[in-house]
């Protein structure tokens, strides 16, 4: 999948606006969002911070440098997404480990209730899931749609992630 599409999907999911159905909505009474060029600048999110860009690109050295210069590893974007959520969803294990070592909250939640563990499980990043669990990620955390990391892994057919989560105490 194209990296830009993958990143956009992850950001939308973490922000809590992802659609939970597999079929497209057929209701013509539901208004669709306006094209991006029609959204007023006041409603567009600011460009990602340097820390978020480093998390997305997988640049662990830049993460270290930024945090050492005072960047907050728990900063949230305007949509409530943390660098740890971004790195976890992209599968950047070195960045995940750096952020955790620098004090990132392993159980931080987006406004939609999503966690870094959910992002990693959804995107089939076993090594990241294991690292988050070792740091105390809550396997029982639910988002606003009552979904858990386990439910996301099951829905995508990520059987190895399902196994890891169940060993950590996740229940159906």
- pLDDT tens profile 9-35: 555 555 553 433 333 333 333 333 334
Q: Are 10 and 90 in contact (CB under 8 A)?
A: yes
Residue 73 lies in a domain: yes
Distances, alpha carbon 104 to alpha carbons 7, 18, 25, 44, 96, in Å: 20, 24, 37, 26, 9
Number of domains in the chain: 1
Which of the residue ranges 28-42, 136-150, 154-168 would you say has the lowest mean pLDDT? 28-42
> Of 52, 46, 64, 66, which is closest to residue 7 (Cα–Cα)?
52
Residue 112 lies in a domain: yes
User: Is residue 123 scored above 50 in pLDDT?
Assistant: yes
Residue 20 lies in a domain: no
Residue 25 lies in a domain: no
Q: Can you spell out the DSSP letters for 48-69?
A: PPHHHHHHHHT-HHHHHHHHHT
% of the chain with per-residue pLDDT over 90: 70
Residue 105 lies in a domain: yes
**Residue 5, Cβ density class (10 Å: 0-12 exposed, 13-18 middle, ≥19 buried):** exposed
Residue 53 lies in a domain: yes
Where does the chain show beta strands of DSSP type E?
none
Residue 37 lies in a domain: no
Banded pLDDT at 172 (limits 50, 70, 90): confident
What is the pLDDT, as a whole number, of residue 32? Answer: 35
Q: What is the CATH number of the domain that holds 107?
A: 1.25.40.20
% of the chain with per-residue pLDDT over 70: 74
Q: Are 100 and 84 in contact (CB under 8 A)?
A: yes
Banded pLDDT at 126 (limits 50, 70, 90): very high
Q: Are 113 and 144 in contact (CB under 8 A)?
A: yes
pTM of the model: 0.78
Say how many C-beta atoms besides its own lie within 10 A of residue 26's C-beta: 6
Q: What is the pLDDT of residues 89-113, one digit of tens each?
A: 999 999 999 999 999 999 999 999 9
More confident residue, 62 or 38: 62
Task: Determine the structural domain holding residue 130 and report its residue range.
Answer: 3-14+47-167
**Mean of the per-residue pLDDT values for the chain?**
82
> Of 110, 28, 119, 42, which is closest to residue 75 (Cα–Cα)?
110
Q: Is 31 helix (H, G, I), strand (E, B) or coil?
A: coil
């Amino acid at each position: 999948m194209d990296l830009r599409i993958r990143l956009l999907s992850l950001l939308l999911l973490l922000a809590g606006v992802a659609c939970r159905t597999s079929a497209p909505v057929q209701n013509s009474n539901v208004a669709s969002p306006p094209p991006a060029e029609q959204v007023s600048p006041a409603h567009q999110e600011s460009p990602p911070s340097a820390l978020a860009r480093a998390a997305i690109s997988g640049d662990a050295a830049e993460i270290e440098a930024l945090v050492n210069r005072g960047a907050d590893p728990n900063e949230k974007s305007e949509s409530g997404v943390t660098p740890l959520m971004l790195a976890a969803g992209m599968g950047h294990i070195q960045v995940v480990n750096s952020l955790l070592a620098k004090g990132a909250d392993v159980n931080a939640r987006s406004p939609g209730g999503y966690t870094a563990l959910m992002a990693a499980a959804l995107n089939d990043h076993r090594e990241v899931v294991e690292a988050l669990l070792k740091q105390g990620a809550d396997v029982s955390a639910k988002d606003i749609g009552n979904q858990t990391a386990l439910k996301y892994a099951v829905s995508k057919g990520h059987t190895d992630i399902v196994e890891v989560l169940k060993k950590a105490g996740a229940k159906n």
